[in-house]
Structure 1
Amino acid sequence: MKEIVSQKIMNQDLERYLQNFIESKDTFEFADLALHHYLAFNGQDQKAIEWLAAGIELLILSFDIYDDLEDQDNGSAVWMKIDSSIALNAVTALYTLSIQVMCQASHEPEFSQEILNFALQSIQGQHDDIVNAPQTEEACLEMIKNKSGALTALPCVMGVMLATGKYHPIVASYSYELGIIAQIENDYRGLYYLNNDFIQKKNTLAYLYLNKRFNAASAEILSWYENTELFLSLNSKQIKEKLTEAGVVQYLLVMKHLSLQKLKKEIARLELQENKIKKLITGIIK
């Protein structure tokens, strides 16, 4: 990724910012998704999958940065410590570069079109998140599918498309569920610290559930997020016990389980050898 930036970005000052952004990246799960699917469907071109994987991780990084800038979250990130206009221009360069790199993996017009379709779908989901559009659990799941699901489907579907030349609807179907699972896990972790989702009363699945105030514990938890000093005085054990008492832990686990069952059901429909399906499941479900 750093080598690609060095090759493609001629402005040295801009390059320095982008290299710093990349330096902060320590996970490459989306590249792994592309690789697992590429190999499962007998992809053979090592250079092509390397271009796709690198471009995907650049795209994911750009979306993470946009997300932080839009939510004014994650203040410790390098892009949050610089002038916002510089950060915004730099991330736009990163996003544009990511599309260019992914499209170099294949010269088929349909390939680049699908990449743009997924990116645009995620941006629209992000818009719904920013304006806090979801008012029901169903609407929230649809927003998650568009925002997180599309970004998760992109590496899976494009990995298969690079290997076979075809869009695979079954892969797309279960990949969206994988994105929903990841977002539910992220929302659950967010319950343990004062993130912007609760400060801004974002309609996450957890918040929508708690806001129904099924019991006294739900109302108490909501009051915690209103009182920063009180919340910071609590330890994780106290928080978890109250979340369990409110039923939100069980609720999120059930929602996650439902998506996991849909995912496994769809993967089983793939016309692949059983050992390849097992290897694929092991590779994408952590």
Structure 2
Amino acid sequence: MNEAVHAQLNELVDELVDVPEFNHLLKTFIRDKAGERSNWGNITESTHRMLGGNSPHIQRYAALTEMLILSLDIADDLQDRDNDTKTWCQCPQELALNAVLAFLAGAFAEIGRLGGETIGGGPDAGQIASIVMRSVNGQYRDLAVTAETEEAYIAMVADKSGSLLRLACCMGYSGLKLPKETVDQLDELAIYLGIIAQIDNDLNDLLRFDTKNDVFQRKRTLPVFYLLEDDDESFPYLRQYYGGELSQEDFIVHKQACIRYIENSGCVEYSRIIQQLYMKKAEALLAGIDAVSPWKEKFMEANFIPVTTA
């Protein structure tokens, strides 16, 4: 998150929240988010400018993107209960939930206000709400572990994570006069980028061997599906654990053997191959969109797409 967007977020909180203690809490959460490698606002701005947009409110739109994503991040961490390092997980849960409501309501109030004051219109609040709702649907399917196959998991990720990228892009292009074909390309591109990002998260959470490890949490992700479908019987404890035959305490006894099994299984290499397939689709879509430099390159950098392939 760049300094200008951070300042806009603090300004928004000052405009929306007049309770000093609550104002301070929200700014603490924003500061925590600003310390991450957060590119959501950059994606919104680069999308807007690469498509020829020049709104004087683009920094505010970028800040609203960050505010919406932050509200969903807080909700996600409260639901998963696996990220104790975040400030919103260290305060009373009821206050963190109130912050989620404040960020959501505040963001949509400001989107509505700007839309009424901006010549030509800005981001459409109804459209943004629909995208957020799609992500929430995907989050439910993730929490309820409804995906029983790799294909179902990818579809869930497209909703949960792909919708967040679509949100960031839509906050940039909504209000611009674009051909429907371009909008469809951007939406499809965002879904692919969300899947790519989620695969990165899948691998990070598989290869960390603490309580946040997806295997210990019995989560079903792309590399985990690969492991569960593996015919290698050298480590039967994984299927037994996912099948409920082993408790977590009994499974952790085999932690070192599990680490070796994961490293030798090929699940990482398989996941990277799938990721590259979606990357190639994303690159092809982006190449077909008429976009302005250097903002097209900035969009690619914000999404970690190799610029040399453009």
Q: Output the TM-score relative to the length of structure 2.
A: 0.81
What SS is found at the alignment partner of 1:270?
A: coil
Q: Is the 8 A contact 1:51 1:101 kept in 2?
A: no
Cα deviation code 1:84-131 (max 9, x no counterpart) = 112112221122212223344433497112111110000000000110
Cα distance, 1:93–1:274 mapped onto 2, change above 3 Å:
closer
**Structure 1: distance between partners of 2:109 and 2:185:** 27
* Range moving further from structure 2, 221-230 or 136-145: 221-230
Structure 1: unaligned runs, 5 residues or longer: none
1:135 aligns with 2:154: no
Verify the 8 A CA contact 2:206 2:214 in the aligned structure 1: no
**Is 1:61 the counterpart of 2:70 in the alignment?**
yes
Using the alignment, how far apart are the partners of 1:63 and 1:275 within structure 2? 30
1:92 equivalent in alignment to 2:101: yes
Give the Cα separation in 2 of the matches to 1:217 and 1:229.
16
**Aligned partner of residue 43 in structure 1, secondary structure:** coil
- Structure 1 length as normaliser, TM-score? 0.87
Counterpart for residue 14 of structure 2: 6
Q: Is the 8 A contact 1:244 1:250 kept in 2?
A: no
Query: How far 1:278 moved relative to its partner?
Result: 5.0
Q: Which residue type is aligned with residue 232 of structure 2?
A: N
- Aligned residue for 2:207, secondary structure, equals coil
Q: Which amino acid aligns with 2:164?
A: L
Letter in 1 for 2:281: K
What amino acid is aligned across from residue 90 of structure 2 in structure 1? K
Give how far 1:255 is off. 1.1
Other-structure match for 1:31: 41
The 8 Å contact of residues 67 and 103 in structure 2, kept in 1 or not, is answered as yes
Conservation of the 8 A alpha-carbon contact between 2:68 and 2:104: yes
Within 5 Å, which residues of 2 pair with 1:113-132? 113-132=126-145
Unmatched runs of 5 consecutive residues or more in structure 2: 1-8, 306-310
Corresponding residue for 2:224?
207
Q: What is the RMSD computed on CA atoms of the aligned residues?
A: 2.6
Amino acid at match of 1:72: R
1:248-259 superposed matches below 5 A: 248-259=267-278
Where 2:99 maps in the other structure, the secondary structure is helix
Provide the rounded CA distance (Å) in 2 between the counterparts of 1:251 and 1:14.
46
Q: Deviations over 1:21-46 (max 9, x none)?
A: 11111233010111111110111123
Cα 1:95–1:275 change in 2 (3 A) is: closer
SS at match of 1:69: helix
Secondary structure, aligned partner of 1:245: helix
Partner in structure 2 of residue 174 of structure 1: 189
How many angstroms does 1:210 deviate by? Answer: 1.0
Instruction: After TM superposition, list the pairs within 5 Å mapping 1:227-242 onto structure 2.
Output: 227-228=251-252, 231=255, 239=259, 242=261
Partner of residue 23 from structure 2, selected from 15, 25, 40:
15
Percent identity, aligned pairs only, is 26
What is the deviation of 1:166? Answer: 6.7
Separation in structure 1 between the aligned mates of residue 292 and residue 49 of structure 2, nearest angstrom: 13
Contact conserved, 2:158 with 2:191, CA < 8 A, in 1?
yes
Which stretch shows the higher mean deviation, 221-230 or 166-175? 221-230
Compared CA separation, residues 77 and 280, structure 1 to 2 (3 A): closer
Contact kept? 2:149, 2:225, Cα under 8 Å: yes
Deviates more, 1:69-78 or 1:143-152: 69-78
* 1:259-278 superposed matches below 5 A: 259-272=278-291, 277-278=296-297
How many residue pairs are counted as aligned between the two chains? 280
Whole-Å Cα distance in 2 between the matches of residues 83 and 196 of structure 1?
A: 25
Structure 2 vs 1, CA of residues 229 and 139 (structure 1 numbering), >3 Å: closer, same or farther?
same
| SS of equivalent residue, structure 2 residue 124 | helix
